[in-house]
Amino acid sequence: MKIRTMKYFVGQGFRGIWRNRLMSLASIGTIASCLMIVGIFYCIAVNVDYILETLEETAGITVFCTDEEVSEDKIRDLEERIRKIDHIDEVVYISPEEALNKEKEEWGEYGSLLDGLENDNPLPPSFEITLDDIRYQKEVVAELNQLSGIEIRYLEEETKILIGFNNMIRLISLVLILVLGFIGVMLMDNTIRLTVYIRKNEINIMKYIGATNWFIRWPFVIEGIIIGIIGSVLPLVLIWFSYNFITELIYEKNTFIRNVLVFRTPGEIFNVLTPISLIIGIGIGVIGSTISIRRYLKV
- Binning pLDDT at 50, 70 and 90, where does residue 229 land? very high
Segment 263-288 mean pLDDT = 88
Of all residues in the chain, what percent carry a pLDDT higher than 70?
A: 82
Q: Phi and psi dihedrals of 95, rounded to 5? A: -75, 160
**How many CB atoms sit inside 10 A of residue 82's CB?**
20
Instruction: Say how far apart CA 135 and CA 189 lie, in whole Å.
Output: 43
pLDDT in tens, 181-193: 777 677 766 766 7
Of all residues in the chain, what percent carry a pLDDT higher than 90?
A: 7
Per-residue model confidence (pLDDT) at position 240: 93
Proportion of the chain in helix, strand, coil states, percent, rounded to 5 = 75, 10, 15
3-state secondary structure of 88: strand
Tell me the residue type at 260: V
Q: Phi and psi dihedrals of 127, rounded to 5? A: -125, 130
Fold of 60-154: Alpha-Beta Plaits (3.30.70)
pLDDT in tens, 114-161: 676 666 777 888 898 888 877 788 888 899 988 888 888 887 777 777
List the chain domain ranges. Answer: 3-55+159-297, 60-154
Does the structure show a pLDDT above 70 at 10? yes
pLDDT in tens, 51-87: 777 766 665 788 888 877 778 888 888 889 999 899 8
Of 289, 239, 217, give the one whose Cα is nearest residue 23. Answer: 289
pLDDT in tens, 196-223: 676 677 667 777 777 777 777 788 888 8
Tell me the residue type at 247: T
Instruction: For residue 120, give the DSSP letter.
Output: T
Segment 229-236 mean pLDDT = 93
pLDDT in tens, 21-59: 887 888 888 888 888 888 888 888 888 778 777 766 665
Does the structure show a pLDDT above 50 at 299? no
Instruction: Say how far apart CA 28 and CA 34 lie, in whole Å.
Output: 10
Per-residue model confidence (pLDDT) at position 270: 92
Per-residue model confidence (pLDDT) at position 34: 80
Q: Phi and psi dihedrals of 45, rounded to 5? A: -60, -40
pLDDT in tens, 237-269: 999 999 988 888 887 766 656 655 678 888 889
